[in-house]
Amino acid sequence: MERLKSLNNLIENLYKLPGVGKKSAERMAYAMLDFPSEDLESIAKALTDLKAKIHFCPICGMITDIDGCYICDDKNRDETTIMVVSYPKDVMSIEKSNSYKGQYHVLNGELSISKGMNTDSLNINSLLKRLDDGHYEEVILATNPTVDGETTSMYLAKLLEKYNIRVTRLAYGLQIGGNLDYVDPLTLSKALEGRHKI
């Protein structure tokens, strides 16, 4: 049965995705057999379009499928604040929270001690250029609260010292809806450190 080529090819490729095991890949492929043809055509089109249409914004590094960029082109956004994130999906998450209306800068990677500190692969030069040219008042470092994210933030904070700009970091603390007894000790001590008057 190794000869059902298109099905096996699909299973092999789904198997490469994060969080998808061999068994799930099979289940997904068989489910797709029952999809209407239009749906399959539309996924196929989305896949071929993915690389052809999506590219990085030369200013902020966010993914875009138009000539400019949905965020950089938006004149209603605050032009004095810039938030630095590691990946495009982080921009999506913050946009969904509806709590920030400034500019973004996407590094498209993180510095990693274990994988080598390659600062050249990150989208940092264009950040410095933006800070040189613009009238920014604050840079918010919003990399992930992981070792690599922290390393990246520390590196950037050091690099930005020479600019006369306020550099901030997202707050650590409890997660809304979480349970105190499930919070790890480090987060708990950070939450205590960052306590505020109510």
Regarding 26 and contact with its own copies (CB under 8 A), the answer is: yes
Nearest 5°: CA angle at 153, between 71 and 197?
Answer: 90
Following DSSP, what letter does each residue of 18-69 receive, concatenated? TT--HHHHHHHHHHHHTS-HHHHHHHHHHHHHHHHH-EE-TTT--EESSSS-
60 CB neighbour count, 10 Å cutoff: 24
* Tokens linked to 16: 């490469």
Regarding 6 and contact with its own copies (CB under 8 A), the answer is: yes
Nearer to its own copies, 24 or 187 (CB): 24
Nearer to its own copies, 73 or 78 (CB): 73
Nearer to its own copies, 45 or 158 (CB): 45
Of residues 79-98, those binding its own copies (CB under 8 A):
87-89, 91-92, 95
Nearest 5°: CA angle at 171, between 170 and 173?
Answer: 140
Regarding 50 and contact with its own copies (CB under 8 A), the answer is: yes
Site mask for its own copies (CB under 8 A), range 107-136, x = bound: ------------------------------
Q: Count of residues binding its own copies (CB under 8 A)?
A: 51
